[in-house]
Amino acid sequence: MHITYLLLVLFLISCTQTRNKLEEKEELSIIFTGNINAEIEPCGCRQFPLGGIDNVYGALSEEAKSSSIVLIDTGDSYYQANFIPTSEEKSSKEKAKAVHEGLNLLNLDFKLIGEQDLSDGLEELKSFTKSAKYKFIISNLKDSAGLPHLDYKILHFHDHTFYIIGVVKPSTIQPELKKYFSDPISTIEKQIKQFKDKFNFDVKNNFHHLILLSHSGQKAELNLARKFPEIDWILGSHSMNFTQQPLIENNTKLAQMLSRNHYLGKIHFKKGIAKETYSTIEINQQLASKASPNPMIEFIKNKKNEIDKVLITEQSSNNLQFYQTDQIPTATTCIDCHDTQGTFWQKTPHSLAYITLHKSNKHHDMNCLKCHSLGSNNPKGFKDSQKIAVTEKSEDYWKEVLGAIKPTKAVRDLSPSQIHQMSKTWYDLDLKYNVNHNFANVQCLNCHDQRAEHLNLPSEFKSPGPDAIKKACLNCHTSDQSTHWYTDGQLNKEKFENSYKKVSCPKVTAE
What is the helix (H) or strand (E) element at residue 270, kind and residue range?
A: strand 263-270
pLDDT at 450: 60
288 plus 413 within the same structural domain: no
Angle at 427 between CA 421 and CA 433, to 5 degrees: 135
pLDDT at 127: 93
Sign of torsion over alpha carbons 492, 493, 497, 500: positive
Angle at 126 between CA 186 and CA 169, to 5 degrees: 25
**Domain-terminating residue out of 296, 312, 341:** 296
Sign of torsion over alpha carbons 316, 318, 321, 323: negative
On whether residue 139 sits in a domain, the answer given is yes
DSSP 414: S
pLDDT at 261: 95
Q: Which amino acid is at 421?
A: Q
Residue 356's CB: how many other CB atoms inside 10 A? 22
Nearest to 410 by CA among 372, 361, 355: 355
On whether residue 2 sits in a domain, the answer given is no
The domain of 286 spans: 28-296
149 plus 292 within the same structural domain: yes
Q: Where are the beta strands (DSSP E) in 252-321?
A: 252-255, 263-270, 273-282
Cα separation, 259 vs 77, in Å, equals 9
Q: Which amino acid is at 399?
A: K
What's the total number of domains in the chain? 2
274 plus 360 within the same structural domain: no
290 plus 341 within the same structural domain: no
Sign of torsion over alpha carbons 402, 404, 407, 413: negative
Task: Divide the 511 residues of the chain into consecutive groups of 10 and give the mean pLDDT of each group.
Answer: 48 52 95 96 81 97 97 96 87 96 98 96 93 97 96 97 98 94 98 97 97 96 97 95 93 94 97 97 96 96 95 78 66 84 94 93 91 89 89 92 93 94 94 89 85 63 73 88 84 91 78 38
On whether residue 444 sits in a domain, the answer given is yes
Cis, peptide link before residue 379, omega less than 30° from 0 = no
Ramachandran class of 441: left when φ > 0, alpha when ψ lies in -120 to 50, beta otherwise: left
Q: Give the CATH number of the domain where residue 169 resides.
A: 3.60.21.10
Pairing of strands 68-73, 247-249: unpaired
Cα separation, 358 vs 443, in Å, equals 17
**Domain-terminating residue out of 296, 313, 331:** 296
On whether residue 317 sits in a domain, the answer given is no
Cα separation, 148 vs 165, in Å, equals 15
**Domain-terminating residue out of 278, 296, 314:** 296
pLDDT at 69: 98
The string of DSSP letters for 159-222 reads: TEEEEEEEEE-GGGS-GGGGGGB--HHHHHHHHHHHHHHHS---TT-TTEEEEEEEES-HHHHH
Cα 461 to its chain centre, rounded Å, is 39
> Helices (H), strands (E): how many in the chain?
16, 16
What's the farthest any 2 CA atoms get from each other in the chain? 97
What is the helix (H) or strand (E) element at residue 269, kind and residue range?
A: strand 263-270
On whether residue 315 sits in a domain, the answer given is no
277 plus 357 within the same structural domain: no
Helix (H/G/I), strand (E/B), else coil: 157: strand
What is the helix (H) or strand (E) element at residue 27, kind and residue range?
A: strand 27-33
Pairing of strands 160-168, 233-237: unpaired
292 plus 333 within the same structural domain: no
118 plus 61 within the same structural domain: yes
Sign of torsion over alpha carbons 335, 341, 343, 347: negative
Cα separation, 150 vs 8, in Å, equals 16
pLDDT at 414: 94
Residue 232's CB: how many other CB atoms inside 10 A? 19
249 plus 371 within the same structural domain: no
The string of DSSP letters for 78-97 reads: S-SSSS--GGGHHHHHHHHH
213 plus 82 within the same structural domain: yes
- Neighbouring residues of 496: CB distance < 8 A, sequence distance ≥ 6: 470, 473, 474, 477, 485
pLDDT at 463: 64
pLDDT at 323: 52
Helix then strand then coil, % of the chain, to nearest 5: 45, 15, 40
56 plus 140 within the same structural domain: yes
Cα separation, 184 vs 178, in Å, equals 12
Cα separation, 243 vs 488, in Å, equals 10
229 plus 338 within the same structural domain: no
pLDDT at 378: 85
The pTM of this model reads 0.81
On whether residue 313 sits in a domain, the answer given is no
On whether residue 188 sits in a domain, the answer given is yes
Direct distance between the N- and C-terminal alpha carbons of the chain, in angstroms, rounded to an integer: 97
Sign of torsion over alpha carbons 469, 85, 146, 307: negative
On whether residue 21 sits in a domain, the answer given is no
Cα 493 to its chain centre, rounded Å, is 25
359 plus 281 within the same structural domain: no
Nearest to 19 by CA among 202, 271, 191: 271
pLDDT at 10: 46
